[in-house]
Amino acid sequence: MKPIHVGLLGIGTVGGGTFAVLARNAEEIARRAGRPIVITAVADKNLERAREVVGTAAGVRITDDAMSVVDDPAIDIVVELIGGYGFAKDAVLRAIANGKHVVTANKALLAVHGNEIFAAAQQKGVMVAFEAAVAGGIPIIKAVREGLTANRIEWIAGIINGTTNYILSTMRDSGRPFADVLADAQALGYAEADPTWDIEGVDAAHKITLLSAIAFGTPVQFEQAHIEGISQLAAEDIRYAEELGYRIKLLGITKRVAGGIELRVHPALVPAKRLIANVEGVMNAVLVKGDAVGATLYYGRGAGAEPTGSAVIADLVDVTRLHTADPEHRVPHLAFRADQLENTPVVPMSEVESAYYLRLRVQDKPGVLADVARILADNAISIEAMIQKNAAQKEPGEGGGEADIILLTHITREQHADAAIARIEELATTVGRVTRLRLESLAS
Ligand code: NDP
Ligand code: HSE
C-alpha cells in the first residue's frame, strides 16, 4: 500500500516524541490507518539535534529550511511542532495554500489565529487537526467534537496546563520553592518556550478557548478570555484551603449561561473529595457536562514528548483515513459546520457567578468581624464557613495583634464580591489587600 508522506516541522520535545512513537509502532499504526504513515522530511533550526533524533532511519531528508518541506510536492501532511504565532503561522497558511493537510499541537496559534486558519483550510478543502493542542495525550478534542456530539454541552472545566499543576502539586508535597520546581518542569519538556504563558494562565486560556469553540459552536474568542495565573498564589492560601477541605487548582472553565458563554482561567478552590482535585503533577483532567450524558471525566498526561506525540499521531491516522473523503463529509474543524457557527458573546467577569474564598488580615479587636459580616450582608453575600488564625503578634503594650480571617461565601455575582471587597479594604481595621479566590464546586 502506498505510504502517506509527512513533513515534520520542529523536532524538539513533541516532534521528537512523535518521531519515536511513529517509528516504534509503525506497523500497528499502518494496520489502523490502512497504509504506512512515513516521515520523509524533518525541518529544524537545530540540525544536530534533528540528526540525533532521526538517527539511522532511512529515507528522511533533514533540513533547516522548513518552507522547503512545506513546498515539497511529495509531502501530503505537514506537522507543525515549532510553536508560536510568527513563522508557524506563515508555514501553516502556506501548507494550506499548497493543498496540504496540517496537524499541529500549537494551541497558541489556533486560539489566536484559528478563525483565519480554519477558513483558509475550509476554502482549500484540507484538514487542520489539533488533538495535541489541548491536554497533551488526552483525546479530549475527539471526545467533545465526536463522542459527545449528541449533547448540548453545558460546561467544561479542566486542569489543562501540566506545568502549573506540576508546580502546585510539587510545592505542596515537597515545600520546594517555585523557581526550582519550574526549572524541573522546563527540563522535563512540559513548559512553553516562554514559561510565563504557563504560569500566568495564557496557555490554559488558549486551550479552553479551543474547547469552548467546539463545545458551543462559536468562532475562537481568545481575546475575550479572562486570564489569571498562579504567580500571585500564596502558600498560606494553599494551606488554608486544605484545612477547609479544598485543593487549589488552575482551572480553565467555559460554561453556557443565560447571557452567553463564560470563558475564564484562574486558580480555584475545588472540594478535595472531587476526583479532579486529586489530579497531581503533569496529569491533566477535563470534566465535560452534557445534557444527555451528564458529567464525563477525561484524565491523562497533559504534556511531554510521547503523550503529546500520541495525540499528534492520532490526528495523522485520522487525516490518512479521511483525506480522500469529500471535504463536506469530514468532521468540521470546530465540530459545528462552518456556516453554523454563532457569535455567542462571552459574558464579562462582573456577571460571572461563583462562590468565593476571601482572606483578610485584620486588627484583632472587638467588632471587626461584625463590620466585615455587615458589608457582606449589604452586598447580599452569605457566609458558608469561616476560620480565624492569629497572625503577627504586636509587642506587649502595643495593643492587639493581627489575625487572618478566612471566609467562604455562598454563590454570588462577581460584581457583588468586588464591591464588598472594596469596602472591606477601606475599613481602618483591615491590614493590606483582601485575597480573593473563586470556589468551584464542580458538582454534576
Ligand atoms: P520545542 O522547543 O521543544 O521544539 C520546537 C523545535 O522547533 C525546536 O527544535 C526549535 O529549534 C525548532 N524551531 C523553531 N523555529 C524553527 C523554524 N523556524 N524552523 C525549523 N525549526 C524551528 O517545543 P515543543 O516540542 O515543546 O512544542 C512544540 C509545539 O507543541 C508548541 O506549539 C507547544 O505549545 C506544543 N505543545 C507542547 C507540549 C509539550 O509537552 N512540550 C504539549 C502540547 C503541545 P530551536 O530549539 O533551535 O529553536
Ligand atoms: N506547556 C504546556 C503544559 C504543554 O504545561 O500543559 C502542554 O500543552
Contact of 10 with 70, CB cutoff 8 Å: no
**Per-residue pLDDT tens digits for 138-164:** 999 999 999 999 999 999 999 999 999
Q: Is the CB of 195 under 6 A from ligand 1?
A: no
Q: According to the model, what pLDDT value does residue 81 have?
A: 98
Q: How many CA atoms lie within 13 A of 225 on its CB side?
A: 31
Q: According to the model, what pLDDT value does residue 394 have?
A: 52
Reported CATH class of domain 353-439: alpha beta
Reported CATH class of domain 140-301: alpha beta
Mean pLDDT of the chain: 96
In this structure, the residues whose C-beta lies within 6 A of any atom of ligand 2 are: 136, 161-163, 190-192, 198, 203, 302-303
Q: Cite the DSSP H helix spans in 298-387.
A: 305-322, 368-378
Task: Return the closest-CA partner of residue 332 out of 137, 183, 180, 128.
Answer: 128
Q: Among the bound ligands, name the one nearest to the CA of residue 189.
A: 1
Residue type, 238: I
**Angle of helix 47-54 relative to helix 13-24, nearest 10 degrees?**
20
Confidence bin at 444 (pLDDT 50/70/90): confident
pLDDT above 60: residue 201: yes
348-349-352-354 Cα dihedral, nearest 10 degrees? 180
CA distances from 135 to 142, 205, 307 (A): 12, 12, 10
pLDDT above 90: residue 175: no
Query: Atom 26, ligand 1: which residue's CA is nearest?
Result: 13
| Range 4-137+305-335 classified under CATH 3.40.50.720 | yes
SS3 432: strand
Query: Atom 15, ligand 1: which residue's CA is nearest?
Result: 82
Q: Is the CB of 105 under 6 A from ligand 1?
A: yes
Helix-strand-coil split of the chain, %, nearest 5: 40, 25, 35
pLDDT above 60: residue 98: yes
CA 7 to chain centre: 27
Contact of 81 with 18, CB cutoff 8 Å: yes
Report which secondary-structure segment, H or E, holds 416: helix 414-426
Cell of 22: 511513529
**Domain parsing of the chain, residue ranges:** 4-137+305-335, 140-301, 353-439
Where is average pLDDT lowest: 341-350, 372-381, 382-391? 382-391
- Residue 360 Cα to ligand 1 middle (Å): 43
Q: What is the mean pLDDT of residues 386-404?
A: 74
- Residue 192 Cα to ligand 1 middle (Å): 9
**Per-residue pLDDT tens digits for 209-231:** 999 999 999 999 999 999 999 99
Cell of 153: 454541552
**Per-residue pLDDT tens digits for 1-21:** 899 999 999 999 999 999 999
CA 16 to chain centre: 22
Q: According to the model, what pLDDT value does residue 393 have?
A: 56
